[in-house]
Amino acid sequence: MTLSASVSSKGKDNLYSELTYEDAGEKWHTTGKEAKSSWFSSFTNTNLPAEKLQPDSDLSSKFESIQSGKKRKRRKLKTKEQKKQHYLARLEKRRKRRLFLLPTVAKYSDFVPLRDMWIKYIEDLLNFSSLNSPNLSSAAQKLMKADFHGCPITVEQSTCPGHVGLQGIVITETQNTFSVVLPNDTVRCIPKCNNIFSFVLHHHVFTIYGNHLKVKPGERSGKKFKSKPTIDM
Amino acid sequence: MGKDGPRFVHKEIFQRVNFLYQAAQMVLKQNPKNIELCRYYISTMKTVAEKHVIRIHPCIKRTYCKKCNVVFVSGQTCRIRSRSQSEKHTVVTCLLCRNIKRYMWRKNYSLWPDKDEAWLPDKKEAIKNG
């Protein structure tokens, strides 16, 4: 502030101390714009060093701000773009490690109730009491659009001989893989490509051709499936 | 709606959404460390509902975090407090991502599915009759 510098030039030792009434003079509280500016110019002429004096400069606005005394808090206004960015983008999620880190270790016993719930869901969906040979095609259509989380699945055929005969509960599904909990508490990631899965419910055996199911689980329900011939391995 | 009266459109999708929501709750109940799996089920549920333009009922929609998709279990994944600063309201805080959601206690306010305008006349009668 210019005024605090003026105090030091007057001969006081303490820099940046508060202005007292004596420093300001008697007329500091005079009202009226012209009176203020005339008083202010005379004050600066007497107190400021000659180098810092700027002729014809209007300092009356600064004077007012000093007189008011209170400090104004300035809140930083947000622009529209900053306000809009409420939810995280995918890259940002990855950076902050909020992207789904799907489990690599899981207990089989934890997922047994999930399997039971899935069986009830499929019974509700397919209506087993009226499941006959003419209904099977519509049931297959429904099953294509159903959810497979919690399905007790077995690998029937595979190009990889290590996968054949694996049996477990599906935890997660991606575009190209099923990840399955095995009864010995390990999680295996099994690709859909070139694999044939199956599960048994109420004496019906359902086989799933992995090659036809290569869609994301969320988007599968909206997709139209075309019947394609399968080429056996 | 056909000749036989009101039909349930997208029944399979509703069943799937229902199943996924219950799966997310069950997984968290079985083992509280399965947070990522719970988030995964809720996010797939949201994508399924989004694809078919199905509105999720507010009773369900308010029980998971809008930001990080975790199911709220009070004390475990969320904190619920009632405040009366300026206006009385409840504050729900997600303990994992610290997202805050406020619900005002306004007398005139009612949810959209609770209003009469939201219902087709035939359907409401059908529900009343059972």
Residue A122 pLDDT exceeds 50: yes
Measure CB to CB from residue B51 to each of A114, A146, A219 and give the nearest one: A219
pLDDT in tens, A71-98: 566 666 666 666 665 666 666 666 655 5
8 A C-beta contact, residue B70 and residue B21: no
Measure CB to CB from residue B47 to each of A98, A171, A218 and give the nearest one: A218
- The residue with tokens 């394609």 is A228
Residues from chain A that touch B43, judged by Cβ atoms under 8 A, are 100, 218
Q: pLDDT grade, residue A1 (50/70/90)?
A: very low
C-alpha to C-alpha distance for A1 and A16, rounded to whole angstroms: 8
Residues from chain B that touch A98, judged by Cβ atoms under 8 A, are 68, 97
Average pLDDT over residues B55-76: 89
DSSP A51-113: TT--TT---HHHHHHHHH-PPPP-PPPPPHHHHHTTSPPHHHHHHTT-S----SB--TGGGHH
B26 to A114: CB separation less than 8 angstroms, yes or no: yes
Residue A5 pLDDT exceeds 60: no
Shortest alpha-carbon distance between residue A11 and chain B (Å): 52
For B124, other C-beta atoms within 10 Å of its C-beta total: 12
pLDDT in tens, B10-57: 888 888 999 999 999 998 888 888 888 888 899 899 988 988 888 888
B48 to A221: CB separation less than 8 angstroms, yes or no: yes
Provide CB contacts within 8 A for B95, sequence distance 6+. Answer: B76, B77, B78, B79
The answer to whether A142 contacts chain B (CB < 8 Å) is yes
Residues from chain A that touch B41, judged by Cβ atoms under 8 A, are 149
Residue type, A136: L
Of all residues in chain A, the one with the smallest CA distance to B12 is A125
Radius of gyration of chain B (CA): 18
Residue B89 pLDDT exceeds 90: yes
Pick from B76, B67, B15: which is nearest to B39 by CA? Answer: B67
Residues from chain A that touch B42, judged by Cβ atoms under 8 A, are none
Q: What is the pLDDT of residue A62?
A: 61
As a whole number, the mean pLDDT across chain B is 85
Q: What is the pLDDT of residue A72?
A: 60
ipTM: 0.82
Of all residues in chain A, the one with the smallest CA distance to B97 is A98
Residue A136 or A199, more confident: A199
Residue A19 pLDDT exceeds 50: yes
Q: pLDDT grade, residue B86 (50/70/90)?
A: confident
Three-state SS annotation for B41-59: HHHHHHHHHHHCCCCCCHH
CA triplet A195, A199, A201: central angle to 5 degrees?
A: 165
Residues from chain A that touch B44, judged by Cβ atoms under 8 A, are 217-218
pTM of the model: 0.68
B31 to A150: CB separation less than 8 angstroms, yes or no: no
* No. of helices (H) and no. of strands (E), chain B: 4, 3
The answer to whether A88 contacts chain B (CB < 8 Å) is yes
Residues from chain A that touch B20, judged by Cβ atoms under 8 A, are 147, 149
Average pLDDT over residues A36-62: 69
8 A C-beta contact, residue A111 and residue B30: yes
C-alpha to C-alpha distance for B65 and B71, rounded to whole angstroms: 6
Residue A130's H or E segment, with its range, is: none
**Strands (E) located in chain B:** 78-83, 89-94, 100-104
Residue A224: φ, ψ to 5°: -95, 125
The answer to whether A102 contacts chain B (CB < 8 Å) is yes
A110 to B15: CB separation less than 8 angstroms, yes or no: no
CA B31 to chain CA centroid, Å, is: 22
Q: What is the pLDDT of residue A47?
A: 76
Q: What is the pLDDT of residue B2?
A: 47
**Is the CA virtual torsion A41, A44, A50, A55 positive or negative?**
negative
Measure CB to CB from residue B27 to each of A114, A217, A218 and give the nearest one: A114
- At what angle are helices A60-68 and A33-47 packed, to 10 degrees? 90
Measure CB to CB from residue B13 to each of A216, A219, A221 and give the nearest one: A221
A218 to B26: CB separation less than 8 angstroms, yes or no: no
